[in-house]
Amino acid sequence: MLTRSPRSRHHGCRSFPEGTRLKVLALGKSRQGLAVVAAVAALFAASATGQPPEREFPDAWYEPPKTASEVGLTSFSQSPFLDGRGLPPVEERLPDDPVVIQPYDSIGKYGGKARITLWDSWQFFNWEHALTLSADMRNVLPNLAESWSLSEDGRVTTVKLRAGLRWSDGHPLTADDFMFRLNHVFLDPDFSPVTYRGVRGCEFVKIDDLTFQYVFPEPNPMFVNFFAQYGSHMLDPMHFFKQYHAAYRDKEELDALVEEEGFVSWMAMYRALRDWGNEDASKVPTVRAYKVVERTPTKLRLERNPYYFKIDPAGQQLPYIDEVDAIILLENSQMIAFQAATGQLDFAAFALKTQDIPLLKLGEAKGVNQVHVWRRLHISDVSIQPNYNFDDPKYRELLWGKGERRFIRALSHAIDREQMNEMIYFGRGVPSQVTAHPSSRWYEQRFAEAHARYDPDYARQLLDELELADVDGDGLREYPDGSKLTITFEFLDFETPKSITMELVRDYWREIGIDLRLKSVERRLQAERAQANKMQMTLWHADKVTDILFPLVPDWFYPHRTGWDIAMWNHWARYYQTDGRLGERPPDDVRELQGWGDALRMATTEADRTVAAKALLEAAAENLWTIGTVGQAPHPVVVSKRLRNVTPTGIWGWDNRWTLSYHPATWYFDESHED
Amino acid sequence: MSEAALQPTGAGPLAGVEERQAGAAISPRRLMWLRFRRHRLALASGAFLLVLYVLAAFCEFVAPYGTTTRNDDAVNAPPMRVHFFDADGRFHARPFVYAYRMEVNPDTWMREYTEDTGRPFPIRFFARGEPYEMWNLFRMDRHLFTTDAGAYIHLFGTDPLGRDMFSRVLYGGRISLSIGIVGVVLTIVLGILLGGIAGYLGGLADRVVNKAIEVLQCLPSLPLWMALSAALPVHWSPLLVYFGITIILSLFGWTALARQVRGRFLALREEEFVMAARLIGADTPRVIRKHMLPSFSSHIIATATLAVPAMILGETALSFLGIGLRPPVVSWGVLMFQAQNPLVIELTPWQMFPGLFVVLTVMAFNLLGDGLRDAADPYSTGGMK
């Protein structure tokens, strides 16, 4: 039932009694406690090695993959699909010492054509990175690379590739392909006017064809995480893309080509090719398990890459499935849910939502599909972002003024996360503020629970203290000067159940007298308005919270970048990005936070890193830069009845690239069970 | 001037014309009513719409709950059955519903509701329930029907947030039905004004208005509505958006009516009684008001009635596409927007009730309009024997 906020008006002066004063930042404490924290970290590390974590996946997925010579495999076989195509024998197409991948359940059989949607093309057959991630999201493992090392000062990352790797057109994969991507895409001033922060100042040093180094002017010990998680963006087939790049092609010729192909610039053409965006996609060599055969506006047809470098324990070249048809159903997740529920897709997950589970399970009951329920990685499915740099002095004063953190805390205490969990997540999510993922070594329960208690009375009290009273008697509070306080909340309703969550939040906030106006916007508008700092409040889901990405892109913990998914402190972030040339100088407390962010990224010892990480997490828990709701929610992964080796559980999210460590190349069709 | 001479003009009944024809036994008004009464479907539709509008006007009183009241025990719950006989077959004079018993099926993840026969909730009429403000004026807490505190009743089931569909459909009806009427009033004003100018003045004014009508009728209405409603500022309050949408809808709705009015004016301008009035010395406004308008007002009413469903459908379409009215405003379009997914069709079909109401309302309006149109011309056979 809708309860009205109390009508009592608060006429006190604007100073707060000493006891209720809120700390803007809680950094002093962490600093004093440096030694203590380091000791705790050491203890934690010890206990972590003492008891091996519960393993739900094959042991091999937690360790560097074995090679054929290590397991004693000497003969290899290929799919009959490739027979009689005039290709070199499989032994020559595989690298010198192929990588052996342990399937989840059983050794598979060749054949079949998978039906998926384009949404799931990053999940059904992953990108192949030089390095990859372990199934517990804690370690980096070799993939295309055979090994890597980090110099003692943290500045130099050396990578050594496996010998004999080839692109899908048979061309050898070498250090040049990595060099090309870094020097001519990331560091090319035309291509990237603003250098991506992860590679700023980076220098590429080629030792030999297979060995190379990324050298940074400052310590960048976490580069290897970036290189593993973001690895798909770290190499391009140089021998192919040379002809589309201004550095290697005659300017006039290139311009003519751009014109002929109908692009605005060669960069746009390059990007389109790389993203398989037009019909030329079939020409682009790849190291992924499948290569494009045909691309039409409605469909992407793929077939197995004959030079794929992984084999199964029986010596069969992966992948098992020969062909993939990816239909292009853009922005229509309901259509996908329906197709998945009626068994028309072999794999669907990306566009599905928690609410779809009963519908999908209906398909399972009818015997047309299998529904696995994974857990989303997001620590919070909805992370509410108040815009601290919004162009309205009264609103800014509320978020970051004399009232300190009262307003945000009031908003947080007004949310009934338990009820939200029951109503939206079938009670199977985890209520949480935005903090590190439980798999992280820096996770602490108190961070997740900070100011998350449902206590509307306390919330009202905090708002009363801010002198936000209901002057005109409509049940909604006004600013202290009597003008209307409404919050316009624009958001992109995508991936997680954002709309229904916000409807609940709107009700909760109305109960404490805060008027929230929801407006769901489409993707382009979201990007535009977020970048232009026009959003009063918005949201995104809180991923990038695992040990892989948190140290690199702690988006929710201090202002360091802007983007369509983060619009809470654009000016402060821009100031930081441009060393004070643009944007607005943040308050000292925020400058300090940014310092901790730098420390986290550059720390070369585990102890230093832990201090910085805890400082950021502690500050976020204390101050609630963003408001968390419910996270680690059930995520449906629908597979057809014939698809095998898909894990029944898993973590679903960007940090671990969804299925990267669950080896989709080992998925296969068992047609014997087909009705 | 004889009765027969009037007929070919199709000018309809001369209601309001002061000089009555000697010997006319039945007045045109009475004739219209008689004609209308013979159109059974139209009569029934009219009665249905009347009931609907009364319900919508008094929805605070009729609905047991407000639009945002959540029942946390009933998320996506099916409609309740009203019982007179309890589980043991005993008759109760006071109707009652049984409480929900909910279980999440661990296999299907579905919320399965059954009737908890141990917990009957008697239905109380004109009893105190959730407090509300009648028309934002009077604080009241009496409802047409409700249950005791702690109990609940959901005749149309609930939505994913546990809100009562019956109440929401009623509140939604208020918005959707009134947008039809308000929009049509605007349409009539615009249509008569512009059509009248064109028809009465003729010449350049006529040509300009006609061209404008042609241009507007050429434009596909849905994309234009979409463009215009996307242009409504984000920060507008729901009430402003409501008026914005109404204006957008009527901006394109007036053309048909204006054409008819213009045609009537052109025809009537040359009529003898108009001529006579003018010769006696009546000025233009008086001629229009006293002599011309009344002679085709019944046509306007019929046309307007037929235009109402277009307005309702327009609002529904815009809201269904998510660019019309937005929550927390509840309209049938908004409700249908929330129900537009395969999950609803398959698992919670009762959330499509608003759609049913739109269909019924539009049908009723069309039938009523048909009846009115026939009745408006009581001297023609109108396709009836």
| Residue A429 clears pLDDT 60, i.e. is over it | yes
Please give the backbone phi and psi of residue A207, each rounded to the nearest 5 degrees, phi first.
-90, -55
Cβ–Cβ of B72/A503 closer than 8 Å? no
Confidence category of residue B96, pLDDT binned at 50, 70, 90: very high
pLDDT of residue A28: 39
Query: In which band, very low, low, confident or very high, does the pLDDT at B378 lie, cut at 50, 70 and 90?
Result: low
For residue range A160-180, what is the model confidence (pLDDT) as tens digits?
Answer: 999 999 999 999 999 999 999
**A103-112, A549-558, B281-290: least confidently modelled range:** B281-290
| Selected residues 275-334 of chain A with any CB under 8 Å from a CB in chain B | 334
Q: What is the pLDDT of residue B321?
A: 77
Name chain A contacts of B132, Cβ cutoff 8 Å: none
Mean pLDDT of A384-405: 93
pLDDT in tens, A648-662: 999 999 999 999 999
Least confidently predicted of A533-537, A573-577, B133-137, B224-228: B224-228
pLDDT score recorded for residue B202: 77
The pLDDT value recorded for residue B234 is 67
Task: Mark yes or no for CB contact A423/B327 under 8 Å.
Answer: no
User: Quick check: A356 and B343 CB within 8 A?
Assistant: yes
Cβ-nearest to B108 among A337, A341, A362: A362
Q: What percent of chain B is predicted at pLDDT more than 70?
A: 90
Question: According to the model, what pLDDT value does residue B121 have?
Answer: 92
Confidence of residue A539 (pLDDT cuts 50, 70, 90): very high
Q: What is the mean pLDDT of residues A243-252?
A: 92
Average pLDDT of span A554-558:
93
- pLDDT tens, position by position, B345-363: 888 899 999 999 999 999 9
Of A343-347, B105-109, B166-170, the least confident: B105-109
pLDDT tops 70 at residue A264: yes
CA distance A391 to chain B (A): 14
Q: What is the mean pLDDT of residues B44-59?
A: 93
pLDDT number for residue B87: 85
The answer to whether A408 faces chain B, any CB pair under 8 Å, is: no
Position B16 pLDDT exceeds 90: no
Mean pLDDT across A325-340: 82
> With contacts defined as CB-CB under 8 Å, which chain A residues touch B152?
none
Average pLDDT of span B27-42: 81
Segment A223-231 mean pLDDT: 93
Distance from CA of A498 to the nearest CA of B (A): 13
Nearest Cβ partner for B341 among A334, A361, A427: A334
For chain A, say whether B346 makes contact (Cβ under 8 Å).
yes
Instruction: Report the top-level CATH class of A53-126+288-373+635-675.
Output: alpha beta
pLDDT digits (tens, 9 = 90+) for A120-136: 988 998 889 999 999 98
Tell me, what's the pLDDT at A236?
95
A-chain CB neighbours of B66 within 8 Å are 2
Say yes or no for a CB contact (<8 Å) between A422 and B107.
Answer: no
Mean pLDDT of B47-60: 93
pLDDT at B210 over 60: yes
Chain A contact set for B322 (CB, 8 A): 520
Pairwise CB contact (< 8 Å): B235 & A1: no
* Per-residue 3-state assignment (H helix, E strand, C coil) for chain B: CCHHHHHHHCCCCCCCCCCCCCCCCCCHHHHHHHHHHHCHHHHHHHHHHHHHHHHHHCHHHHCCCCCCCECCCCCCCCCCCCEEECCCCCEEEEEEEEEEEEEECCCCCCEEEEEEEEEEEECEEEEEEEEEEECCCEEEEEEEEECCCCCCCCCCCECCCCEEHHHHHHHHHHHHHHHHHHHHHHHHHHHHHHHHHHHHHCHHHHHHHHHHHHHHHHCCHHHHHHHHHHCCCCCCCHHHHHHHHHHHHHHHHHHHHHHHHHHHHHHHHCCHHHHHHHHHCCCHHHHHHHHHHHHHHHHHHHHHHHHHHHHHHHHHHHHHCCCCCCCCCCCHHHHHHHCCCHHHHHHCHHHHHHHHHHHHHHHHHHHHHHHHHHHHCCCCCCCCC
Q: What is the CATH number of domain B26-57+170-376?
A: 1.10.3720.10
Domain A21-38+378-631 CATH assignment equals 3.10.105.10:
yes
Partner residue opposite B75 with nearest CB, options A364, A423, A506: A423
Q: Which of B72, B73, B109, B348 to mutate to test the interface with A (most CBs of A within 10 A)?
A: B109
pLDDT at B273: 85
A1/B109 CB distance under 8 A = no
Q: pLDDT grade, residue A592 (50/70/90)?
A: very high
pLDDT of residue A8: 34
- Give pLDDT, residue A34: 43
Interface test with chain B among A1, A370, A373, A523, by most B beta carbons within 10 Å: A1
B-chain residues near A500 (CB < 8 A):
160-161
Contacts of A503 in chain B (CB under 8 A): 161, 327
Q: In chain A, which among 470-489 make CB contacts under 8 A with chain B?
A: 486, 488
Say if B110 is an interface residue toward chain A (CB within 8 Å): yes
A518 CB neighbours in chain B (<8 A) are 326-327
Query: What are the E-state strand segments in A118-210?
Result: 131-133, 140-142, 145-150, 156-161, 203-206
Given this model, what pLDDT does residue B377 score? 67
How large is the average pLDDT for residues B19-42?
72
* pLDDT tens column, A409-421: 999 999 999 999 9
Instruction: Return the percentage of chain B with pLDDT > 90, whole number.
Output: 23
By Cβ distance, the residue of B161, B326, B341 closest to A504 is: B161
Give residue limits of the domains in chain A. 21-38+378-631, 53-126+288-373+635-675
The pLDDT tens digits for A25-68 are 444 344 444 444 444 444 444 444 445 556 889 999 999 999 99
B136: contact with A, CB 8 A cutoff: no
What percentage of residues in chain A have a pLDDT greater than 70? Answer: 91
Model's pTM, two decimal places? 0.80
Interval A61-84 mean pLDDT:
94
Higher-confidence residue: A543 or B382? Answer: A543
What's the confidence (pLDDT) of residue A165? Answer: 96
Cβ within 8 Å, pair B235-A358: no
Q: How far is the first Cα of chain B from the last one, in angstroms, to the nearest whole number? A: 28
Mean pLDDT of A611-625: 95
Do A359 and B72 make contact, defined as CB atoms within 8 angstroms? no
How far does the CA of residue A628 sit from the closest CA of chain B (Å)? Answer: 20
Mean pLDDT score of chain A? 88
Query: For chain B, what are the domain ranges?
Result: 26-57+170-376, 64-162
On whether any CB of chain A is under 8 Å from the CB of B69, the answer is: yes
Q: Which residue has the higher pLDDT, A605 or B38?
A: A605
B117 has a chain A CB within 8 A of its CB: no
| Minimal-distance CA residue of chain A relative to B324 | A519
Report whether pLDDT(B8) > 50.
Answer: no
* pLDDT, tens only, B192-201: 888 888 887 7
Q: Name which of B70, B130, B342 is nearest A507 (Cβ-Cβ).
A: B70
By C-alpha distance, the chain B residue nearest A360 is: B108
Residue A634 contacts residue A651 (beta carbons within 8 Å)? no
* Residue B24, pLDDT score: 53
Q: Which residue of B has its CA nearest to A2?
A: B69
Instruction: For residue B347, give the nearest of A334, A358, A364 by CB distance.
Output: A358
Identify which of A132, A101, A161, A232 has the alpha carbon closest to the alpha carbon of residue A664. Answer: A101
Q: Least CA distance to A354: which residue of chain B?
A: B109
pLDDT at res. A331? 62
Three-state SS across A375-418? EECCCEEEEEEECCCCCCHHHHHHHCCCCCCHHHHHHHHCCCHH
Q: What pLDDT score does A673 carry?
A: 59
Give me the pLDDT at residue B255, please.
Answer: 84
